[in-house]
Structure 1
Amino acid sequence: MLDEQQAQKLKPLLEELMRECDYVERRRHDPVEFAWEYKERLDRELVALLSSCLAYGRVELLKAGVKVILELLGPRPTLAVDEMGPDALAGELGEFVYRMTKGADVVDLLIAIRKVQSEYGSLEAAYASAPEDDHLSRASFLVQKLRAARVRDEFVRGLRYLLPDPADGSTCKRLHLFFRWMGRGPDGIDLGTWEVLDPADLIMPLDTHTSRLCRYIGLCDRKSTDLKAALEVTESLRMMDADDPLKYDFALCHLGISGSCIHKRSEEHCPSCPIESVCTL
């Protein structure tokens, strides 16, 4: 984790990284692009959670998988899920496979989203109704509600992977990505759909690649990619912007997605990187 002096040195470099990021172009290579195509609030929630849950692996492949599902659901995904129901959805998605995610996992997720939205009015309202008011407790509460609303009796590994619980101690990268989309903005990247979620409370969506990058520039020391590491990175980012620590996340993440950072010293890539002077590679 950074100290105050390190934070003051790193902050202008991260600000430069943000300025140099081509957000319009990079959004085309990010699953958040899908949610921007929908205007209705509940449709955006559904599409955003679906897209973030599938946000693992190569971007072009995961986006192709999400596109298959959204083309099936049409312009009003929430209405389509209600009209089709679990049996018709299972029939249409029976052959769907994206890495470890099967069609039945997607059906569980879609039906669960609609059940929770119908019960509470929105996923945001379900999140806000948690008995405890801290972000991680609310996040866990929402996940538990979604898990309980699944179609299948058995809670299978595929659905567990799509809906990890922060209470278990993992980074829950894709879940925190969803919260970033909902809680920040609107700024052309994040949607800012939820009013109840304060950007100051968001937690860094950390995976193996971003975890390494964060270690390179001193945002964390922890080698394990877990919730403790995500919290450590978040606290470091709060030292540079307590109100909006995750404003740096998109530009940092896309250093890797774009191929600008290849996680080894390179005379082709490193000299032009805004954070090269503090990188320990």
Structure 2
Amino acid sequence: MDIKNLLENEIKNRDYYKVSEENPDPILIAQKYKDEKISLICALFAYGKASLIVKFLKKIDFNILKESDEEIKKYFIDYKYRFQTNLDIAEFFITLKRVGSLEELFLKGYKKENFVIDGIDTILEEFYKINSYDSKGYRFLIGNRYKGKTKGSSPYKRWNMFLRWMVRSDNIDFGLWKNIKKSDLIIPLDTHTFNVSHKLGLLNRKTYDLESAILLTNRLKIFDENDPVKYDFAIYRLGQNENL
């Protein structure tokens, strides 16, 4: 099996970039606003059924980010989303309201070694510093800080998807951030992509973690060293092929 041609043909022959009301995706909301904080909200709530994610995000008036802590808590009193209570959601918005530029925070960590996980960790460090709120739902939503070991660490799937949106620029990704190399991005590895990559022979490692996400990304760099994450959707679509 010529994996590179298979992936390239998937990119060329299918409209896999198409997202619409009929084929919902949280990036629909992020594209509408093209704002780094709203995009992060869309990315971090992107777990579960896509239609329900979009339904939840559509209900939110993102102008609430400009209001007081008390107003934010009142606004979300009747909201909940899967593992997040109304307070988890409100506190996340309060955190985002308090924080400055996400891009500037990210670059602080990223520039050390051009490792995007360091950039994510710098943002998380600031999140936990400016808001002492903590709960299982809140921690699940924003993630735990990176402990310096790729093996056994979270693949940071939703964060890496957010970075794909922010850094790449094409039919779907809208490239708001200009100072990060596409070649440094890590594929947003979820269990579906993980399983399909094994079927395609792109990945042999059995553990679903950050190490596997990096290994898969490095394998894809053989096909395109400057933009390995462009194959993200192609792998996803190939996984929908029952004959794979």
TM-score, structure 1 as length reference = 0.78
Change (3 A) 1:103 1:254: farther
Give the aligned partner of residue 18 of structure 2: 25
2:48 alignment partner in structure 1: 57
Structure 1 residues 1-281: aligned runs within 5 Å: 9-23=2-16, 25-26=18-19, 28-39=23-34, 44-69=35-60, 72-73=61-62, 77=63, 80-82=64-66, 84-117=67-100, 122-130=101-109, 132-134=112-114, 135-150=116-131, 153-165=132-144, 167-168=146-147, 169-185=153-169, 187-255=170-238, 260-261=240-241, 269-270=242-243, 276=244
Deviations 1:139-185 (A, max 9, x none): 211121123223xx342111211112461411111011101110111
Distance across 2 between alignment mates of 1:106 and 1:213 = 33
Superposition CA RMSD, Å: 1.9
Query: Counterpart of 2:150?
Result: none
What secondary structure is seen at the aligned counterpart in 1 of 2:161? helix
Long gaps (5+) in structure 2? 148-152
Percent of aligned pairs with the same residue?
30
TM-score normalised over the length of structure 2:
0.89
C-alpha contact 1:204 1:231 (8 A) present in aligned 2:
yes
Residues 53 and 162 of structure 1 are in contact (CA less than 8 Å); yes or no, is this contact kept in structure 2? yes
Question: Does the Cα contact within 8 Å between 1:52 and 1:178 map onto a contact in 2?
Answer: yes
Aligned residues: 235
Instruction: Note if contact 1:215-1:221 (Cα within 8 Å) is conserved in structure 2.
Output: yes
- Once the 2 structures are TM-superposed, how far is the Cα of residue 217 of structure 1 from its aligned partner? 0.4
> Separation in 2 of the partners of 1:219 and 1:154?
40
Cα shift at 1:191: 1.1
CA distance in 2, matches of 1:190, 1:14: 18
Q: Is the 8 A contact 1:220 1:229 kept in 2?
A: yes
Aligned equivalents of 1:60, 1:184: Cα separation in 2? 24
> Which amino acid in 1 is paired with 2:213?
A
1:35-77 per-residue CA deviation (whole Å, 9 max, x = no partner) reads 11125xxxx11111001001101101111111122xx23xxx3
Structure 1 residue 103: deviation in Å? 2.1
